[in-house]
């Protein structure tokens, strides 16, 4: 014997009235789904309030996505700018601070050696 447990859901009319109904078992076409019933198929419609809440949440999520995409664009532009600056630093030779020091040390050593050599 197979027992079938019917699930009850809350049916909400557009005028605000509510009453309990059995949840659908077979989904042959698009239909509204009472609150509290489990969705077992695609194309199921919800109560008006649930639909409104879902659309509001969807609109909020789209606004957040748009804001994040704007931030990503700004960060990408900053990244490209920083990459270009780094590339210029790596390509453009910078004046060496050690070159005059080494030149001075070598010159001093040569002159000192020449002086000592002449004595």
Residue in the block written with tokens 């509290």: 36
- Least Cα distance to 33 among 75, 77, 106, 42 occurs for 42
DSSP designation for 38 = P
Digitized pLDDT (tens) for each residue of the chain, 119 residues in all: 344 567 888 887 778 888 888 887 776 666 677 888 776 655 556 667 777 888 888 899 999 999 999 999 999 999 999 888 888 877 766 565 656 666 666 666 666 655 555 55
């Amino acid at each position: 014997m197979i027992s079938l447990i019917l699930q009850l859901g809350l049916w909400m009319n557009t005028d605000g009235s509510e009453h309990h109904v059995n949840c659908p078992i077979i989904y042959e076409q698009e239909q509204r789904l009472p609150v509290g019933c489990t969705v077992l198929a695609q194309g199921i419609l919800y109560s008006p309030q649930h639909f409104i809440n879902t659309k509001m949440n969807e609109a909020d999520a789209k606004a957040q996505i748009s804001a994040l995409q704007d931030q990503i664009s700004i960060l990408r532009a900053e990244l490209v700018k920083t990459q270009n600056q780094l590339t210029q630093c790596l390509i453009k030779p910078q004046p060496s601070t050690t070159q005059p020091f080494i030149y001075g040390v070598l010159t001093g050593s040569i002159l000192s050696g020449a002086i000592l050599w002449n004595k």
